[in-house]
Amino acid sequence: MRLQQTLANQVSCSGIGLHSGQPVSMTLRPAPPDTGVVFVNRNGHAGASLVASVDHLVPTELCTAISGNGFQVKTIEHVLAALAGLNVDNVYVELDAGEAPVMDGSSAPFVRLIQSAGIVSQNSLQPYLKMTRPLEVVDGSRRIRIEPSATPRITYSIQYDHPLIQTQTYTYEHSARAFESEIAAARTFGFLQEVEALWARGLGRGGNLENTVVLSRDGILNESGLRFTNEFVRHKVLDLIGDFSLLGLPFIGHLIADRSGHALHTRLVKQILNHPECWVLLNTDHSTAQAEPLPAIATPRPVSAVALQAS
C-alpha cells in the first residue's frame, strides 16, 4: 500500500529522436492524482493531450508508439520505464516533436531528471492490479507469461547467436532503488548489419555510438564498452517495464518473458485487460483524495484503467 506520487517541480531536457534524428525538447510537469502519464503535444498545437494507454497503441517497428487526438508520439518506452521504475504515477510529458528524446539509449538520464525534480506523495491511494491466475501470449518460440506473485517481479531470457550475448537470463525484483541501480543504465542495442539496413530504410537516423550499443560480428563498436556484462537482457527488462506501464496502473505478479519484444509485451497487456477474472484490484478506496481541478490540457486516465477502478 502506498500513496500516488508525482513530481515536486517541472523539469526539462533536450535531445534527438532515435528514429527521426530530429531535435526534441521534453518537459515533465506535476499532475494531480488519478491523471496517469499524459503526453502533451507542444509542436505548434494548442496542447493536445494523449494518455499513455494500450488503448492508444499503434503498430510500429522497433519501438513503442501511441496515437490519438491528432498526434502520435514514438519511442516512449524508456521515459515510461523511468517513471514506472521510480513509482511516479501522475505526470504531464510535454514534447515539441513526435518522438521522445533517446538521450544515451537508456533510462538513466530520465532517472536523473526525475530525481532532480523531486518526487512527492499525493493524498490518494495508488491502486494495484494483482494477478490471481496466469495468462500467456505465445508467438512461435517467443512467449511472455504473467503469474500470481506476492511482489512485482520480472524474469527475462534472450538468446542471440553472438559471442557477447548467447543466452542471458535476468530476474528483477521491483523497487525504485533496484530499478535505478540494476536496470536504468542498460542501453538499447543493435547489430551492425541491421543498423545499416535501418538507415537504408530511413529508420534509426538518430542512432549512433553515443546512444546505442552496436554489435559487430564478434564484439561491439563502442569504445566505452558495456555497462554490465549482461546489459542486453537488462535493457529488455527496461523495455518491458516501460511497455507494461501502458496497463495504466502498477501490477503485482511475476512476468516471465522468453525472446519476447514490444509487440508481445503489449499483447499481454491487452490480454490482462480482456480477462478481469484473472486479477483483483487493491487500494481502490479513494475516500482520502482531495478534489483538484485539472488543467485545460488534462485527460483522465485511460478507459481501461477507469473501468478497472470501477470493477
How far is residue 193 CA from its own chain's centroid?
27
pLDDT at 172 over 50: yes
Q: What is the mean pLDDT of residues 142-171?
A: 97
- In this structure, the number of other CB atoms found within 10 A of the CB of residue 148 comes to 14
Instruction: Give Cβ neighbours of residue 231 (< 8 Å, ≥ 6 apart).
Output: 186, 187, 189, 213
Check if 3-126+285-302 and 129-277 are the same fold. no
Phi then psi for 124, rounded to 5 degrees?
A: -160, 135
Q: Which of helix, strand or coil describes residue 128?
A: strand
**pLDDT (0 to 100) of residue 93:** 97
Give the C-alpha distances (Å, rounded to integers) separating 76 from 81, 123, 238, 241, 253.
9, 28, 12, 11, 23
Place of cell 481502490: 284
User: Per DSSP, which regions of the chain are E strands?
Assistant: 3-7, 11-16, 23-30, 37-41, 49-51, 57-58, 65-68, 71-74, 91-95, 119-125, 128-131, 135-139, 142-147, 153-160, 166-173, 189-191, 213-215, 251-252, 254-258, 279-282
78 assigned to active site: no
Q: Which of 37-51, 153-167, 187-201 has the highest mean pLDDT?
A: 153-167
pLDDT confidence bin for 193, thresholds 50/70/90? confident
How far apart are alpha carbons 122 and 38 in whole angstroms? 17
pLDDT confidence bin for 292, thresholds 50/70/90? very low
Spans of all domains in the chain: 3-126+285-302, 129-277
Strand 49-51 to 213-215 pairing: unpaired
Among 19, 78, 174, 262, the active-site one is 262
Instruction: Tell me the per-residue pLDDT of 25-54, one tens digit each, with 9 for 90 and over.
Output: 999 999 999 999 999 998 765 678 999 999
Q: What is the CATH number of domain 3-126+285-302?
A: 3.30.230.20
In CATH terms, the fold of domain 129-277 is: lpxc deacetylase, domain 1 (3.30.1700)
How far apart are alpha carbons 198 and 207 in whole angstroms? 10
